[in-house]
Chains A and B, each alone.
Chain A
Amino acid sequence: MTDFVQLWVYLSSTPLFGLTATLVVYVLAQAFYARMDQAPWANPVLWSVVTLAAGLTATGTAYPTYFSGAQFIHFLLGPAVVALAWPLWQRRIALRARWGRFLLASLIGGTAASGSAVGLAWALGLPVEIVLSLAPKSVTAPVAMGVAEKIGGIPALAAVFAVVTGMVGALSGKYLFDALRIDTDATGWMARGFALGTAAHGIGAARALQVNADDGAWAALALGLQVVLASLLIPLAARML
């Protein structure tokens, strides 16, 4: 027993542990998601986060110890944001024909998401650092962290808000769109995908991509536009208010 404890103490303190745990838990969560016919509630990010956080808390492993290994996965968010140019470039013809309308929808949708978050948080009396960390919640986590830092929010909190927002979107989007009677024809998929990419960034886009290829394509486009608009306009709006 003591040998086992010593071995655990050794292994859990190496970067190998955080990296292995993240990958193994995610692969299992992904398999479970596939087994459940990709039901929204079986979202792999949600269950990976819950399982890992519970496991770390139960074994008394500190988050920085875990992150020393998980940072290798986290690091890939940067190149992944750069790679978002690829789906945009693939859809350049659709973009060129409709860029004004996409830009307008992205602007209105992004403002609605961010504005309603800030307004509600303010009305509910949340502290100002939390209100500011909520502003960039509909952009992908690494960008949300950068924006939060610029406007005086807490970057780590902004990242968590962004991830939770993405999960809420991925979990409930389908039911909301059905309730709003958004069809599942070509225009409907465009509206659904674009909305998921705008309000629920990469996690929404990942969900959209699994449901329907076009749905995913529009989500990737929306998420790219939202990244550019939000990182330009949120700091500007914060400076003016």
Chain B
Amino acid sequence: MKALQGFAWLLVLQSAGEALARLLKLPFPGPVVGMVLLLVALRWSLVRDSVAAVAEFLLAHLSLLFVPVGVGVMTHLGLLGQYGLRMAVVIVLSTWVGLGVTALVLRALMRGDRPDAGLAAGERDAA
């Protein structure tokens, strides 16, 4: 029941996010607005307790959710044949640039800092 309530909260906040994004002509996609709304709503234990279980389940299987879109690559085989090699070069190199730059910048910024997972006491187990 908790998980079901949590899922209902996610859908309600996503809908609210979609509505706000449209009404206020925000540059963010609806689910992103929903994420910000949930960040605020998590202050209340009513939301927090029910969302926790469902959020962890969804995020633990996040990679499954990309499979249907990924299979869509088969509909772009024409473009792939024509530009595939160049697109692959762009994607691989820019991903390496992004990974390398981020890791080096963050390491430089955090020099001298001793990070832990940043969890409040008692939340470490749940994470």
* Across-interface contacts of A25 in B (CB, < 8 A): 67
Q: How large is the interface on A (under 10, 10 to 19, 20 to 34, 35 or more residues)?
A: 35 or more
B107 → chain A closest CB, angstroms = 4
B99 & A87 in contact (Cβ 8 Å cutoff): no
List CB contacts (< 8 Å) of A53-86 with chain B.
Answer: 53, 56-57, 63, 66-67, 70-71, 73-74, 76-86
Given A49-B67, A124-B89, A194-B103, answer yes or no on A86-B32 (Cβ-Cβ < 8 Å).
no
A191 & B103 in contact (Cβ 8 Å cutoff): yes
A153 at the B interface (CB under 8 A): no
B62 & A205 in contact (Cβ 8 Å cutoff): yes
A22 at the B interface (CB under 8 A): yes
CA distance A162 to B64 in the complex (A): 14
B91 & A134 in contact (Cβ 8 Å cutoff): yes
Once A and B bind, how many residue pairs between them come within 8 Å at the CB atom? 343
Please pick, from B27, B113, B123, the residue contacting A236 in the complex, using a CB distance under 8 A: B27
A91 & B102 in contact (Cβ 8 Å cutoff): no
Interface residues of A (CB under 8 A from B): 18, 22-23, 25-26, 44-45, 48-49, 52-53, 56-57, 63, 66-67, 70-71, 73-74, 76-95, 97-98, 101-102, 104-106, 108-110, 112-114, 116-117, 120-121, 124-127, 130, 134, 137-138, 141-143, 146-147, 150, 156-157, 159-166, 168-169, 172-173, 176-177, 180, 182, 186-188, 190-192, 194-196, 198-200, 202-203, 205-206, 209, 213-214, 217, 220, 222, 224, 227-228, 231-232, 235-236
The 9 closest A-B pairs by CB, nearest first: A94-B118, A113-B98, A109-B102, A199-B98, A146-B29, A70-B68, A117-B94, A86-B55, A85-B38
